Chain A
Amino acid sequence: MAALSAERRRSSLSGWSGRSIIGVLLVVFVLFFAVPIVWLLLAVTKSSKTLVVAHPFSPGSWSAFVANWHQLFDFQDGAVTTWIGNSALYAIGALVITLLVSIPAGYALALTEFKLRQALLVLTLVVMLIPSTALVLPIFLELNSVGLIGSPLSVILPMSFFPFGVYLTYIYFSTSIPRDILAAARIDGCNGFQVFTRVALPLAAPIVALVAFFSFVQNWNNFFLPFVMLPSSDGYPIQVGLTSLLAATPAFNPSSAGSDSVQLPTLALGTIVSILPVLIVFLFSQRFLVAGMTAGGTKE
């Protein structure tokens, strides 16, 4: 067992053969996860011809990128710009309502007593288990009966309902806020509302950011809800707009070889543009996110 005692750091399989198997497996998965993204980033710098002819991982040219860019943003007189604007409106609108609604609710569930508190908590857990897409058609019927279909509210309001955010906030306030601090604030003369805004809320900044992040990503990437609620292309968010781009790509839809057709590299650029905001948020919040997700993983 000399090999074992030599290993001060945690190392899984002892012996080089075990390690190389693990090494190979880990690298295979790195390739699996990274290759499509790397390829996509290179694809947008190629013309549709070089995309097929040249080596998949060769870089293209700046001029080809500019041409793709123009083709994308000229598509249907700038429809892509409209779609991105819509996405931003829906995602941020729902995000703001989500925060205004979820944070106080989670706080109240954790730290105050009221009738039906337990019922609301159980209901939150149950709704969290229901996949959001399962309710899309019933919500369509409901909003249809009140005449909201096609309006931005038909996507913003359902997306604002985010029980997971309430649950996260509830957990945070019931485990991580010392009750003494809140009691002290009350003794110092704060009323219930001031205790929340002046003491609890500043302490809850990390959880507010976490809820905001998840809400934003989920809203931005939502496909089924806007697909069902918004009948006109003017109202599409970019995720639904991508289907229009796809429909205009002759490589995937031969009947579309018209004047406004989209080439493969342009479609690739559309894909990147559609995820750019999420990607930026991801990259900037990576460290904090991982910390948040593994919050249960570090014991004090």
Chain B
Amino acid sequence: MTLAPSSDQLTVDASRGRRSRRGGGKPAGRASARSPIGYVFVSPYALLTIAFGIVPSLYAVLLAFTNADGGFAGFDNFTKVIDDFRFWPAVFHVTIYLVIWLLGLVVFVVGLALMVHAIGVRWVSTTLRFVYYLPGALAGASSILLWLFVLDPTASPVSGLLSAMGFDSFVQVIQPGNLPAIFAIIAFWTGAGGWIIIMYGALNNISTEVIEAARIDGANAVQIALRIQLPMLRKWVAYMGVMSLAAGTQLFVEPQLLSQASNAVVPNDYSLNQLAYQYAFQQNDFNGAAAISLILLVVALLLSWVFVTRGGLFEKE
């Protein structure tokens, strides 16, 4: 899970960027201006940024446009991976998963945050937030393993529920059609709590006078939630969207472990990232892998950009 900077902070940042763009002058109060210490302090970070941010990105671009011998290949690598019979199914899988997950995330996180926030009894609300947040400690392979148990009717704590839904064996549960929903549930289980806490904080930020005024005007609780609290959460929902979407396109560990645990009932090229991995390590085709990585990177950045501009993430209110 990644945590969000507060809306105040985003605003500060945006206004600063705007000011320097407009005025060109340096922001006031930067006391130790022109001291060489700035360079000393940022250079290790700048080095890491170059080594693990810029160089790999450029290297991926280089590889994606060259062939195995290092010659220029134009778009050959891209046409090759796109023509691969596994490519479009992987795109399809990841897309369906993203749609289910993002919808669920927005609806339930916002809904739960509003409901928890409406609770007047302090210890109840604190306890709820803690319980919702706890699964966040399990991430990566650990959470997938736990969910393998939950989804296996022989051992599952909810085997009654599973058989009521008509699932009697693990293989039945992990039918291809169920996988996007299963991955979405696992991701929601681990990640939602952190976002609920962030939304709760944002709700606290809405001044009580505004809520009180609406109440005096005759708005009921549902109207207040929909007309006042929800619009004021917009920026946060957009931020959650960016982070989750960008991360979701990279689906890897979930299908990888499920594939291993199901004796390849779940294919090991289910997601795009897995396909890139297959290219690199099974087919020794790093150029093809780089092409897929680049497609993923561009898609993640494009989608983020749409969310950032549409959601008004860096706007001043």
Chain A residues 132 to 173 lying within 8 A of chain B, measured CB to CB, are 133-135, 137-142, 157-158, 160-161, 163-164, 166-168, 171
Q: Which of A4, A34, A52, A221 has the most CB of B within 10 A?
A: A221
Pick the most buried of A141, A166, A168: most chain B CB atoms within 10 A of its CB. A141
CB-defined A-B contacts under 8 Å, sample of 25: A26-B112, A30-B131, A37-B138, A39-B157, A101-B45, A108-B42, A111-B30, A112-B33, A114-B38, A135-B60, A139-B52, A161-B51, A164-B2, A175-B8, A175-B12, A217-B139, A243-B260, A247-B260, A290-B129, A292-B3, A293-B197, A293-B198, A296-B6, A296-B7, A296-B205
Contact A242 B145 (CB under 8 A): yes
Contact B141 A242 (CB under 8 A): yes
Q: Which residues of chain A (233-259) have a CB below 8 Å from chain B?
A: 239-240, 242-243, 246-247, 249, 251-255
> A274 contacts which chain B residues (CB < 8 A)?
141-142
B288 to chain A, nearest CB (A): 11
Q: Is B65 an interface residue (CB 8 A)?
A: no
Rounded to whole angstroms, the CA-CA distance of A113 and B35 in the bound complex is 8
- Indicate if the CB atoms of A22 and B118 lie closer than 8 Å: yes
Whether the Cβ atoms of A193 and B260 lie closer than 8 Å is no
The number of residues on chain B lying at the interface, defined by a beta carbon within 8 Å of a beta carbon of chain A, is 127
Question: Does A66 have its Cβ within 8 Å of any Cβ on chain B?
Answer: no
- A105 in contact with B5 given A39-B157, A56-B157, A138-B293 (CB within 8 Å): no
Is the Cβ of A253 less than 8 Å from the Cβ of B260?
yes
A290 to B113, CA, bound (A): 14
* Structural contact, B277 and A137, CB atoms closer than 8 A: yes
- B-chain residues with CB within 8 Å of residue A112 when the two chains form the complex: 30, 32-33, 35, 37-38, 41
B140 within 8 A of A: yes
Find A29's partner among B40, B112, B145 (CB 8 Å cutoff). B112
**Is A298 among interface residues, defined by CB-CB distance under 8 A?**
yes
Pairwise interchain contact B63-A141, C-beta atoms closer than 8 A: yes
Bound CA span A18–B59, Å: 57
Range class of the A interface residue count: 35 or more
Binary interface encoding of chain B residues 133-146 relative to chain A, with 1 for a CB under 8 A from any of its CBs, else 0:
11111111110011
Contact with A along B39-57 (1 / 0, CB 8 A): 1111011101101111111
A105 touches B262 (CB 8 A): no
A residues in contact with B230, CB < 8 Å: none
The answer to whether A37 and B134 touch across the interface, beta carbons within 8 angstroms, is: yes
Q: Is A174 an interface residue (CB 8 A)?
A: yes
Q: Is the CB of A139 within 8 A of B202?
A: no
Minimum C-beta distance from A232 to chain B (A):
15
Is B41 touching A52 in the complex (CB atoms < 8 A)?
no
Instruction: Judge if B116 is at the interface, Cβ distance under 8 Å.
Output: yes
The verdict on B304 contacting chain A, using a C-beta distance below 8 Å, is yes
Residues of B contacting A198 with CB < 8 Å? none
